[in-house]
Amino acid sequence: SRSIDLAVIPGDGIGQEVVAEGLKVLAAVLPQDVKLETREFDFGARRYHATGETLTDADLEQLKQHDAILLGAIGDPSVPSGVLERGFLLKLRFAFDHHVNLRPSKLLPGVATPLAGEPEIDFIVVREGTEGPYTGNGGTIRKGTEHEVATEVSVNTAYGVERVVRDAFARAQARPRKKLTLVHKNNVLTFAGHLWTNVFNKVAEEYPEVTTEYIHVDAATIYLVTQPERFDVIVTDNLFGDIITDLAAAVSGGIGVAASGNINPGREFPSMFEPVHGSAPDIAGQGKADPTATVLSVALLLRHLGYDAEAGRIEDAVSADLAERAALPARSTSEIGDALAVRVAG
Amino acid sequence: SRSIDLAVIPGDGIGQEVVAEGLKVLAAVLPQDVKLETREFDFGARRYHATGETLTDADLEQLKQHDAILLGAIGDPSVPSGVLERGFLLKLRFAFDHHVNLRPSKLLPGVATPLAGEPEIDFIVVREGTEGPYTGNGGTIRKGTEHEVATEVSVNTAYGVERVVRDAFARAQARPRKKLTLVHKNNVLTFAGHLWTNVFNKVAEEYPEVTTEYIHVDAATIYLVTQPERFDVIVTDNLFGDIITDLAAAVSGGIGVAASGNINPGREFPSMFEPVHGSAPDIAGQGKADPTATVLSVALLLRHLGYDAEAGRIEDAVSADLAERAALPARSTSEIGDALAVRVAG
Ligand SMILES: CC(C)[C@H](C(=O)O)[C@@H](O)C(=O)O
Ligand SMILES: CC(C)[C@H](C(=O)O)[C@@H](O)C(=O)O
């Protein structure tokens, strides 16, 4: 019989609330014969304040035992900027080699967008997750003086670029439009830019059916608001991916519905699924958070583990719920979760 | 008697056409007693193909003799990516220490925006121009092999950050809303991020009237499309500034109207003014380019040289022209230039 052994990290702020709904929908969608086991981990600001720890080797050892990880949100204003981001979120992505950071953007019917007209938005961003300016490479000299120098080193390897580019080509090949856009800034960041461009062009030869294009990151932000229908699959570096996926989320219904997967495609380590939004401490504990992004992250998780039909059921349920949402009075976090659980079970 | 000695670099593609209109409007707006001298420089793709040169020491020596530089656009698909960008545009910005890259965004009445509703957009971005990931620092080993490693080093100094942050505070102080937003990614790029944040907070103490806020670059792209009225003055690093100003241009009327100044505030070197758009080879030579961004760059140039009244006249003329544009049949590059020249003279 089949089973899913899930590590659950609710985390900070609204993380607790949205993860509860994600698990509710997960339980509702799984067939009877699939045994779901979950183990909760208390990472985040509370643990940091209590112990000074963010993510230890022992933690990683325990997380590693699971099939996948569902995360709510990590971060709190009481913790200095960077401590939990570098010490937990990025540490986990790097330790578990989550090199494919997958972020789909789809504007569903009935969903509000800040863009005028009726834009067609349906693309996925494959963001590199273990290199670029995110490596923590760099340093500071003469800190706090008028002669301070601080550097940040973007590290890019043929190995790291090629594997994520290959992943993106495979995803583009599997989609009806079969189009892949490389986003970088190769006219200024010429060292990294040439590596990305050359690898991209080389792998492209193996995918003659995939239409390719290259766009500078600055221009990409323009197209995301003026012609988002231009994009099908985008592959890009860690930092550019961070930036354009927030913009992509904004134009395709907001971060309330933006899901993401931090994926280790070879499954040497568990992959981690999380909403793109943060911990939103201002609305935490009030039942105001939208759990949809977490529920859609659960769908990505299921697809990663091979439960395609169940993933599709969740996505359909979300589409149906969003289509009706504008006509309904505002619902609480758990009311939205309940409604989605009913739909996927039905 | 007063005089302006201007270096003019039409450059590639539509650069030629838009600069001609910029000069037309400049000549029309200047009072009789101001002597305008211009000298044209043939930089760009043509020169590169003919001589292999992009910008020599002798060129810089000649440019240095002028009060300011007006540039159209540099770049052509016939030149490998990076050659003219690094070899000309960035070389000039660095050689003349253009550390304040000023990019205003104002959505004028009658101008189309991709955003729904009637957003209020009126902010300026002060982008650092001589540091960050733009220094060309970095390199490649094992190029072209499967073991290639390419790095890009973002270099940030207290000296460089403080002077641009000070410039931004002074600009914020001079505006009615007196608000300054620092945009960075200090939760991930912690070395550079802490330098920027600390300098920002330190200088803020000298400007008690200026309201300050900090926003991560990814979140900034969201706010630029969901609540652009939030921004008054933004100060940010070279790369983040590149990205968000293209997005800012897109939401505030498009790159057809986005002006920029590469400013050396101390006037040790001539400052350079250019439209944010590129050379647009696809429409070059057809009289289709919108010269408005160049004309607005001329206004920034005039303000930099102390001709505030004339700068204001140009901005008013552009506002009036844009307000009527939707009702008019499409006009050519020179027709728009003619109309603006008539308005500023009148
Ligand atoms: C919180 C931060 C470390 C993270 C990132 O920059 O990757 C977030 O912005 C994201 O996009 O998941
Ligand atoms: C052409 C390129 C070097 C330049 C930049 O990245 O600064 C351009 O995008 C700009 O914004 O002026």
Average pLDDT over residues B93-116: 96
* B275 DSSP β-pair partners: B259
Q: Model confidence over B189-229: pLDDT tens digits?
A: 999 999 999 999 999 999 999 999 999 999 999 999 999 99
Q: Annotated binding residue at B289?
A: yes
User: Mind listing the domains of chain B with CATH numbers?
Assistant: 1-108+259-346 (3.40.718.10), 113-122+156-252 (3.40.50.2300)
The CA distances from residue B327 to A116, B110, B322, B323, B331, in Å, are 20, 9, 10, 9, 11
A320 touches chain B (CB under 8 A): no
The single-letter code of the amino acid at B240 is F
Annotation marks residue A207 as catalytic: no
Average pLDDT over residues B252-281: 96
A193 touches chain B (CB under 8 A): yes
What is the distance in A from the centroid of ligand 1 to the CA of B15?
39
* B154 DSSP β-pair partners: A152
Residue B96's pLDDT band (cuts 50, 70, 90): very high
Q: Annotated binding residue at B39?
A: no
B222 touches chain A (CB under 8 A): yes
Select from B9, B54, B79, B90 the residue to mutate for testing ligand 2; criterion: most ligand atoms less than 8 Å from CB: B90
Please tell me the distance in Å from A236's CA to the nearest CA on chain B. 14
- Name every chain A residue with its beta carbon within 8 A of the beta carbon of B145: 158
Q: Which residue in A42, A218, A308, A316 is the catalytic one? A: A218
What pLDDT score does A338 carry? 98
Which structure tokens are listed for B82? 């990076």
Contact B281, B300 (CB under 8 A): no
- Name every chain A residue with its beta carbon within 8 A of the beta carbon of B186: 81-82
The CA distances from residue A287 to A74, A223, A282, A284, in Å, are 18, 35, 12, 7
Q: Which residue in A12, A134, A237, A321 is the catalytic one? A: A134
A86 touches chain B (CB under 8 A): yes
What is the distance, to the nearest Å, from the Cα of residue A255 to the centroid of all Cα atoms in its chain? 11
Contact A110, A323 (CB under 8 A): yes
Q: Which residues contact B52 (CB under 8 A, 6 or more apart)?
A: none
Average pLDDT over residues B218-246: 98
Q: What whole-number distance in Å separates Cα of residue A259 and Cα of residue A269? A: 20
A345 touches chain B (CB under 8 A): no
Annotation marks residue A242 as catalytic: yes
Nearest to A150 among B138, B142, B191 (CB): B191
Inter-chain contact B218–A245, Cβ cutoff 8 Å?
yes
What pLDDT score does A150 carry? 98
* Nearest-CA residue for atom 11 of ligand 1: A242
Average pLDDT, chain B: 97
Whether the pTM exceeds 0.95: the reply is: yes
Q: Model confidence over A272-297: pLDDT tens digits?
A: 999 999 999 999 999 999 999 999 99
* Nearest-CA residue for atom 7 of ligand 2: B242
Window 226-255 of B, Cβ < 8 Å to A: 226, 239, 242-247, 249-251, 254-255
The single-letter code of the amino acid at B104 is P
Per-residue pLDDT for B346 more than 90? no
Q: What whole-number distance in Å separates Cα of residue A297 and Cα of residue A258? A: 8
What is the distance in A from the centroid of ligand 2 to the CA of B242?
6
Q: What whole-number distance in Å separates Cα of residue B208 and Cα of residue A116? A: 39
Residue B52's pLDDT band (cuts 50, 70, 90): very high
Contact A63, A41 (CB under 8 A): yes
Please tell me the distance in Å from A239's CA to the nearest CA on chain B. 9
Average pLDDT over residues B39-43: 97
Please report the atom of ligand 1 found closest to the CA of residue A242.
Answer: 11
What pLDDT score does A239 carry? 98
Q: Which residues of chain A have pLDDT under 50?
A: none
Positions of B annotated as catalytic residues are 134, 185, 218, 242, 246
